[in-house]
Structures are given as C-alpha cells and as structure tokens.
Amino acid sequence: MNNLFVYCEIEDGIIADVSLELLTKGRSLANQLKCQLEAIVAGYKLDDIEKQVLPYGVDKLHVFDAEGLYPYTSLPHTSVLVNLFKEEKPQICLMGATVIGRDLGPRVSSALTSGLTADCTALEIGDHEEKKEGKVYKDLLYQIRPAFGGNIVATIVNPEHRPQMATVREGVMKKQILSADYKGKVIRHEVGKYVADADYVVKVIERHIEKSKTNIKGAPIVVAGGYGVGSKDNFKLLFDLAKVLNGEVGASRAAVDAGFADHDRQIGQTGVTVRPKLYIACGISGQIQHIAGMQESSMIISINNDPDAPINTIADYVINGTVEEVVPKMIKYYKQNSK
C-alpha cells in the first residue's frame, strides 16, 4: 500500500526507454521514502515482460494482458489504472511525457481528482508547509518544471490528493539496471475485472510506426540551431558542420516553431534531452526549457552575436559572431587541421 507506481509503456513487445528511466528514478525515490516500487504494464502477449522490468529494482509488477489493450487506446488503460489505484492507493505515480502518457495521465488524474504535473525536469522528496493552515506535510513529491515561457522554475506539490502524479520526458532521467536477478513479484490480473467491454470504443484502423531517422539522443556531437540561425537555408550550414564532425543536428523550440527544423530534432523540456561530448549552440539565446535539455553536455560552445545571450553563461567557449560567418570557418579549419 501507498507505494510508488510507474506506468510502463510498451511498443512491439519492448518497454519504452522513458519507462525504464522512470523505474530507475522511481527506485531511488522509493528508497528515500522507504516504500516499494511497483510497475504496471498493460498490453497483449506479455509472456516474459517481467524480464525487462524487474531488473530495475521493481518489487511488484502488475501485468494486464488482453487483446484490446494493444495498441493503446485511452479508456481501457484509464480503467486499468483508476481501478488498480483505488485498490492499491499509491502515493506517487510516474509516467512518460509521451503521447500515451499525456493522453492517459490527465484522464486518470481527473477520475481520481488527484494533481498531475506535466513535463517535469526534476523530481525530489521534501516537506511542505501550508502556512495558512499551519500544517506540515512530510515527504511530498516535489515536481519541478520550468514555467511561463521558461522565465521561472516552479516547484509543484500535491499536499492532499493521492496519487501525486507527474510525467517526465524521455532522456531527462538516466536509466540504470539495479540487479539483473532482482526478485520482484509478478501479478497477472484478470483484465475483465478492471476494464468494462464498453471501454473498447475507439478502434485503431491503421498504424504506422517508423524508427526515428535521427538519433540526436545518442550522438557524441550535437550542432544545434536556434531562432538566430535566421532561416531554413542557413540551417543547412549546421548540417554541413554536423556531417564533417560526425554529429547530429538539433534545434531549439523557436527554430522548430519557425519551421527551420523538424520537430524530432527539438532539444529541451518539450523535446529531447541530450548529454553529448560537445554541444555547439548556434544562434540559440538559451531559454531555460532549452538549457534543461542540454546543460549536462561535457563541453558547450555558443556561437552568438549577442554577447548577453543567457546561454553564454553556461558555455565553455563563446564565439562572438554570426552563424553564417563562424560555421563555414569551423568547417574549413576542421578540414585543414584534422588530417
């Protein structure tokens, strides 16, 4: 009872990375809270699924295996969580800030009247005092996220309502197996007790999943562009530089919104989090949402003609100039000196 739950997403029989990252984070939070870590998987043909989940230190895995549960649709998965949570009364529930998590989380939180915080960049445990009522709440989940266009960071708590729910983007937390033979309990639930036939109202007619063509998450070098790059044409310079350096091209949200780069290249709170060896920020001012997604890079170079750009404060090198001017020079001198 009152444990920490992680909803695990599944695609093609494989648990999503973001879920494994949350299990890793969930394990450490559960240790701090001295409670157990429990996981939920809902899908179809989940015979050996525990092998993927238990090694992350999961004490109890709840499996819901039925044909209608894969591919995901909103109502059956909502019923699984809502009815299970009514029995188990978790104190915390974490899920990925993915399309599924952001479809499911709000629905579950509404049904249970519990609070949900989207796209957290950090999760901590701490106390909270409601000064007006003079009440102190022990060991709450601090749900920390940038807010209001990234000008501030807000710490959100849910003092009264349970579970405390939060979603987190892929790559924000690190994934790490606790022990390959971690002994956890597996419970295979009878799905019909949790999901009504009437829940299966949405039919998936067609489905195309493509393996992502870009792999900025795993790239050792990322050349990222912001609004300051100026145009889609100028972005080609970034691709040229990334190509000679064997890196990938990323983009800030402003650049994606302006149509300079595709959405799957977006780095930051609402995109991908990266930790490359070298991050070259081209014409990126450095709003907190962006910095949240790249600040753990080993080395940061900022190319910007605004010496006061916020990103410069976290850069190792600042090149004071425009992207058009500096990037071709970098390519030229790399070619000249690398042989």
The yes or no reply on residue 325 touching other proteins (CB under 8 A) is yes
Q: What is the bridge-based pairing of β-strands 14-15 and 10-11?
A: antiparallel
From the list 2, 212, 215, 231, which residue makes contact with other proteins (rule: CB under 8 A)?
212
Contact 78, 111 (CB under 8 A): yes
The yes or no reply on residue 99 touching other proteins (CB under 8 A) is yes
From the list 34, 48, 149, 183, which residue makes contact with other proteins (rule: CB under 8 A)?
149
Q: Which residues are bridge partners to 38 per DSSP?
A: 5, 60
Q: Which residues contact 176 (CB under 8 A, 6 or more apart)?
A: 24, 56
From the list 155, 186, 230, 240, which residue makes contact with other proteins (rule: CB under 8 A)?
155
* Identity of the residue, 230 or 310, whose beta carbon is nearer to other proteins in the bound complex: 310
Site for other proteins in 181-210 (CB under 8 A): 201-210
From the list 19, 36, 98, 121, which residue makes contact with other proteins (rule: CB under 8 A)?
98
The yes or no reply on residue 132 touching other proteins (CB under 8 A) is no
From the list 122, 125, 153, 178, which residue makes contact with other proteins (rule: CB under 8 A)?
153
| Number of residues lying near other proteins (CB under 8 A) | 100
The yes or no reply on residue 93 touching other proteins (CB under 8 A) is no
Q: Which residues contact 247 (CB under 8 A, 6 or more apart)?
A: 219, 220, 221, 222, 223, 241, 276, 278, 280
Q: What is the 3-state secondary structure (H, E, C) of 102-140?
A: HHHHHHHHHHHCCCEEEEECEEEEEEEEECCCCEEEEEE
Candidates 34-42, 53-61, 232-240, 314-322; binding stretch for other proteins (CB under 8 A): 314-322
Site for other proteins in 103-122 (CB under 8 A): 103-107, 109-111, 113-119
Closest distance of CB 264 from other proteins, Å:
9
Site for other proteins in 237-296 (CB under 8 A): 245, 253-254, 257, 263, 269-270, 277-278, 287-288, 291, 295
- Measured CA to CA, the distance from residue 263 to residue 243 in angstroms comes to 20
The yes or no reply on residue 147 touching other proteins (CB under 8 A) is yes
Phi-psi region of 283 (alpha: psi -120 to 50; beta: other; left: phi over 0): left
From the list 44, 60, 74, 139, which residue makes contact with other proteins (rule: CB under 8 A)?
74
Q: Is the preceding peptide bond at 163 cis, omega within 30 degrees of 0?
A: yes
Contact 276, 220 (CB under 8 A): yes
In terms of Cβ atoms closer than 10 Å to its own Cβ (0-12, 13-18, 19+), residue 198 is: exposed
- Measured CA to CA, the distance from residue 143 to residue 166 in angstroms comes to 7
The yes or no reply on residue 100 touching other proteins (CB under 8 A) is yes
- Measured CA to CA, the distance from residue 61 to residue 52 in angstroms comes to 11
* Identity of the residue, 61 or 330, whose beta carbon is nearer to other proteins in the bound complex: 330
* Identity of the residue, 109 or 273, whose beta carbon is nearer to other proteins in the bound complex: 109
Contact 286, 310 (CB under 8 A): yes
The yes or no reply on residue 318 touching other proteins (CB under 8 A) is yes
- Measured CA to CA, the distance from residue 253 to residue 11 in angstroms comes to 27
From the list 13, 68, 230, 310, which residue makes contact with other proteins (rule: CB under 8 A)?
310
Closest distance of CB 33 from other proteins, Å:
18
Closest distance of CB 144 from other proteins, Å:
9
